């Protein structure tokens, strides 16, 4: 958004300032509050865990209120071109008012950010997998729709749009195992009656990577305890159907309703669904890309081009 002029805005307990570039486009919003309670300042303590030097505790006492206000501002300014305010990647500064406070402060800044892998960090994909995908494209056209939902869900998940990811991953399950049903109770029954899908749910919740990710994040562990611990595969599939129904409707009257920007609330559900639908999508793809027919066609293609045949990769489920 381009703004004609700016000045500091002291509103309630916060001072908001807009920072523009040379053309007048607002690039940053700073929000300043006074924190007199020293117990709410950043705390650094030695951490006994191997490989971890310090345990950092930041209460960010005003952050939730500022986030709420900026979400409202984001909506109000949508009429004048604002698409989003990037609150998830906020940078936090603690500014001492005196030398004494400077001595007591142990941390002066922290940035919240999620950065994608660089091109140099990406693992190369074996060429035979690429070639065999082209070879198998015509035969596998009937599975393109569920694969598209899976692909779109992974994009949403990577960009931390967990609510959107849940929609896409759920449609993978409904498309493949929903038996053409449209009513929630009918879809739930169809999913729960699929022996194959129930087995995949059980395997997903035993996945070592998923368990390790959950163990590192208290918030994810809390979601696991609430919705997944000691529940059967049928109950978990019922949870997915109910969750999708919950996210499909909205009302201002019901307390605890979801916010379209509160993606972190549903992060663990999206994570479980991503792992589950990876297994579902791989099961759909495998008979085409890894079939003897496709492998033989790949050999013939490479040899006719005068290149050395690269050994085909079989059963590789690389989630990078």
- CA–CA distance, 156 with 267 (Å, rounded to integer): 11
The phi-psi region of residue 127 (left if phi > 0; otherwise alpha if psi is between -120 and 50; otherwise beta) is alpha
- What single string gives the DSSP state of each residue in 26-75? EEEEEEE-----GGGS-EEEE--STT--EEEE---TTHHHHHHHHHHHHH
For residue 36, what are the contacts with CB-CB under 8 A and spacing of at least 6?
none
Closest CA to 92 of 54, 47, 56: 56
Strand ranges in the chain using DSSP code E only, listed in sequence order: 9-11, 14-20, 26-32, 43-46, 54-57, 91-93, 109-111
Q: How confident is the model at residue 153 (pLDDT cuts 50, 70, 90)?
A: very high
**Where is pLDDT greater, at 52 or 106?**
106
Where exactly are the structural domains of the chain?
9-111, 123-304
The least confident of 21-25, 71-75, 112-116, 292-296 is: 112-116
DSSP H or E segment with residue 173 = helix 162-177
- CA–CA distance, 230 with 247 (Å, rounded to integer): 24
| Pairing between β-strand 9-11 and β-strand 54-57 as defined by DSSP bridges | unpaired
What's the confidence (pLDDT) of residue 73? 94
For residue 272, what are the contacts with CB-CB under 8 A and spacing of at least 6?
204, 205, 210, 228
What's the confidence (pLDDT) of residue 188? 95
151-162 average pLDDT score: 93
Q: How many CB atoms lie within 10 A of CB 157?
A: 21
Q: How confident is the model at residue 319 (pLDDT cuts 50, 70, 90)?
A: very low
What's the confidence (pLDDT) of residue 94? 75
- CA–CA distance, 194 with 22 (Å, rounded to integer): 59
Give 217: exposed, middle or buried? Use CB within 10 Å, 0-12, 13-18, 19+. Answer: middle
What's the confidence (pLDDT) of residue 313? 62
CB of 1 closer than 8 Å to CB of 24: no
Q: How confident is the model at residue 44 (pLDDT cuts 50, 70, 90)?
A: low
Q: What is the mean pLDDT of the chain?
A: 86
**Where is pLDDT greater, at 101 or 208?**
208
pLDDT surpassing 60 at residue 143: yes
What's the confidence (pLDDT) of residue 43? 66
CB of 209 closer than 8 Å to CB of 216: no
Range among 105-109, 156-160, 253-257 rated most confident: 156-160
- What single string gives the DSSP state of each residue in 200-217? HHHHHHT-HHHHHHHHH-
The least confident of 7-11, 150-154, 248-252 is: 248-252
């Amino acid at each position: 958004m381009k703004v004609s002029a700016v000045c500091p805005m002291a509103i309630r307990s916060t001072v908001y300032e807009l920072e523009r570039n040379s053309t007048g486009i607002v690039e940053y919003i700073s929000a300043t509050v006074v924190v007199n309670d020293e117990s709410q300042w950043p705390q650094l303590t030695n951490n006994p865990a191997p490989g971890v030097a310090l345990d950092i505790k930041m209460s960010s006492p005003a952050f939730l209120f500022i986030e709420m206000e900026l979400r409202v501002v984001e909506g109000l300014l949508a009429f004048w071109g604002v698409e989003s305010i990037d609150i998830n990647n906020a940078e936090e500064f603690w500014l001492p008012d005196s030398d004494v406070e400077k001595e007591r402060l142990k941390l002066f800044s922290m940035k919240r950010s999620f950065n994608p892998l660089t091109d140099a960090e990406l693992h190369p994909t074996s060429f035979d997998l690429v070639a065999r995908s082209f070879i198998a494209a015509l035969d596998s056209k009937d599975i393109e729709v569920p694969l598209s939902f899976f692909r779109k869900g992974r994009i949403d998940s990577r960009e931390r749009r967990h609510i959107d990811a849940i929609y896409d991953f759920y449609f993978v399950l409904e498309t493949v195992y929903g038996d053409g049903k449209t009513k929630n109770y009918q879809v739930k029954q169809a999913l729960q009656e699929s022996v194959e899908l129930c087995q995949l749910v059980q395997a997903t919740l035993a996945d070592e990577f998923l368990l390790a990710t959950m163990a590192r994040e208290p918030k994810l562990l809390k979601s696991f305890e609430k919705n997944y611990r000691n529940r059967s595969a049928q109950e978990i599939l019922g949870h997915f159907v109910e969750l999708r129904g919950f996210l499909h409707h909205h009302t201002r009257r019901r307390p605890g309703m979801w916010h379209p920007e509160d993606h972190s609330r549903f992060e663990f559900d999206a994570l479980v669904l991503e792992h589950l639908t990876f297994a579902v999508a791989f099961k759909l793809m495998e008979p085409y890309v890894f079939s003897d027919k496709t492998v033989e066609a790949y050999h013939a293609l490479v040899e006719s081009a005068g290149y050395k045949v690269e050994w085909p990769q079989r059963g590789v489920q690389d989630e990078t």
